[in-house]
Amino acid sequence: MDPIKLTRRLIDIESISGNEGAVGAELYEELCRLGYTAHKMPVAHERFNVVATLDERKPELVFSTHMDTVPPFIPSTEDHDNVYGRGSCDAKGIIAAQIAACQRLREEGAAVGMLFLVGEERDSLGAKVANENPLGSRFLINGEPTENKIATASKGALRLQLTARGKMAHSAYPELGESAIEKLLIALERLRGMELPVNPEVGPCTLNIGLIEGGRAPNVIPDHARAQLLYRLVGPSETLRKEITEQVKDIAQAEFVLEIPFMKLRTVPGIDNMVAKFTTDIPALSKWGTPVLLGPGSIHVAHTDREYISKKQLHEAVDLYCSVARQLLSH
């Protein structure tokens, strides 16, 4: 099979999170055509993961990545060096490379399988459902754009919703009201001033204030304001949570709405390594074997309007996936 052609076919099927049905159906048909035992694992609202194995053999090693993309949809194009489009490196090119690697490994008699998931870009729902239905594999090679370097660790994520409440009044008489936006600004400044944890092997915990909303009108003292923040974790979150709550307790309510833990990962000798500053489905796939994180493409162009994957790196990834799988299965 030609991973370049398959990458373009997959890119051209819009699969923004929540709308993965069509690309899942295409993958299911392709894997059946290639002779795998494939099935659709229901997730929610006509969304499903795609699982593929060799006959009834239990796979010792499973390749996995996600089918969904972030918006907006961008159809595929290519030039001599690269394939462009939404999902080219995150992660439809990776899907193609993993299928091509499985094709080689099955010819060698390796017991391999594939797991392609919905929802990674939003809440890892597909991975959570898959973790309730493991196949008993010893190893999981998860694909994300790491430039074909093996990850020694991946940062976690802690999502915080910060809410401040006030009292409405005419803006000509601010003393009669209580500004929720001013409270929120003070809370945010306190959090920005906190000293965040540092892991000497991974780097610092970082903070992004991603969304701010609130108020009624320019001439109304605002009675509500809210911000959504994301911390990239480099270790346990318990101490950080307590300090955040303490910093804002008198002016805002802190609600921790999502946590994906920091993960140390297995490496393989002879392959360049890196630290993934992003999160993956790996923490939600704990029953699928010892995880390895590896894939072609750069995270620096993922989620951009010029997302692309190098054709050379895509072909190299097929060789690399096969090499890593052989090393893992030899133990």
Task: Give start and end residues of each alpha helix (H) in 59-162.
Answer: 93-107, 125-130
* 312, 263 Cβ separation under 8 angstroms: no
Q: Which two tokens stand for residue 145?
A: 């754009």
* 254, 162 Cβ separation under 8 angstroms: yes
Furthest-apart CA pair in the chain: how many Å? 79
Active site residue 121: no
Which residues lie closer than 8 Å to 139 by C-beta, 6 or more apart? 60, 61, 62, 289, 290, 291, 292, 325, 328, 329
Residue 198: CB atoms within 10 Å: 11
Q: What is the DSSP string of 281-321?
A: SGGG-GGG-EEEE--SSBTTTTTSTT-EEEHHHHHHHHHHH
Q: Which residues are bridge partners to 253 per DSSP?
A: 163
> How many Å apart are CA 296 and CA 315, to the nearest integer?
9
Map tokens 């929720």 to a residue. 180
Q: Which two tokens stand for residue 187?
A: 């809370």
Q: Which two tokens stand for residue 159?
A: 């999502």
HSE (side-chain half, CA atoms, 13 Å) at 32: 10
Phi, psi of 317 (to 5 degrees): -65, -35
Catalytic site residue from 26, 60, 120, 307:
120
Q: Which helix (H) or strand (E) holds 213?
A: strand 206-214
Q: Which helix (H) or strand (E) holds 10?
A: helix 3-11
Q: Of 27, 22, 37, 34, which is closest to residue 7 (Cα–Cα)?
A: 27
Residue positions annotated with a catalytic role: 120
